[in-house]
Amino acid sequence: MPLTKTEVERWLNSVAPGVGLTVLSKKAGFSRIRIIQQLTGDRVQEETIIKVSRVLDIDPLEQLRSFKGYEHLEPSRPDRREVDAFIRWEHLLRACAAIEFAEPVTESSLGPIHFGETSRQWIDSIDPDGGLRKYLQSTGPISNPGLSKMLNGALRFDLALLAAQYANVPRVSALVASHLLTPEEAGWVVDERVQWLQGLGKVERLQLVETRIHAALVREQRSQDFINHLG
């Protein structure tokens, strides 16, 4: 849902009057040419609004929601189906063991929110009926190889939003899944992942660990097979 030049210029004049594009773009970490090209083509990306908002020390989600068509992106804690997608299996295994030994678990011990498998795990975790990937391919539209490649990194926001709508999870989760907002900016509590993990029963934790280790094993075997094939 790219934003138009008129919308963005009006917004910039209200939040940063008198501040030039050169200054804003440099502080936000992208080139002045990039934002000019976006404005010229009436295709300003959500990421641009978010980065400029951070530079100006104003709430990026609140600013994005000020644009028509984005009002539905209300701050929200995640659906419980989503949270495990943001924990790598190694950190999950260590945290579950810590809980069994009555040792403390902290957000930092659960590792980074985003990593190589985040998008893939998020799609798999929220899929209510096994049809989400086919839905994204037909509605996106995006090819199966294209979607598979994208799931190895940051999911495109429009696809993440379609996924959130299909799975009936908070729309703002699409901004987290696509690496545009931090969980805190989206409305998560500070220790969201810790609370979620501690709220699981022992059987749920064991089943989750089993599932994630199996997935990691499959990935490792495929990687090893590929290396052996090259050799």
Q: Would you state the pLDDT for residue 202?
A: 96
pLDDT at 203: 97
Q: Which residue has the higher pLDDT, 227 or 129?
A: 129
- What percentage of the chain has pLDDT greater than the value 90? 75
Residue 149 is encoded by which pair of tokens? 């490649």
Task: Give residue-wise pLDDT tens across range 69-107.
Answer: 999 999 999 999 999 999 999 999 999 999 999 999 999
Q: C-alpha angle with apex 158: 157 to 163, nearest 5 degrees?
A: 95
Bridge-partner residues for 69, per DSSP?
Answer: none
Q: Which helix (H) or strand (E) holds 216?
A: helix 202-230
Give pLDDT tens digits for 128-143: 999 999 999 999 999 9
Core vs surface per residue 67-106: b (16+ CB within 10 A) or e = beebeebebebbeebbbbbbbbbebbbebbeebeeeeebe
Q: How high does pLDDT run on average in the chain?
A: 92
Write out pLDDT tens, residues 5-45.
899 999 999 999 988 888 888 888 888 888 888 888 888 88
Q: What is the pLDDT of residue 226?
A: 65
pLDDT score for 160? 97
C-alpha 86/C-alpha 77 separation (Å) is 14
**Looking at residues 188-205, what average pLDDT do you find?**
96
List, in order, residues 6 or more apart from 181 with CB less than 8 Å away.
50, 60, 61, 172, 175
**Token pair of 72, please?**
């539905």
pLDDT over threshold 90, residue 222: no
What would the DSSP string read from start to end of 33-81? HHHHHHHHTT-B-HHHHHHHHHHTTS-HHHHHHTSTT-TT----PPPTT
pLDDT score for 22: 82
pLDDT of residue 231: 63
Using one digit for the tens of pLDDT, what is the confidence trace for 180-192? 999 999 999 999 9
**Residue 230 confidence (pLDDT) above 80:** no
Token pair listed for 87: 């924990």
Q: Nearest CA to 9 among 47, 52, 59?
A: 52
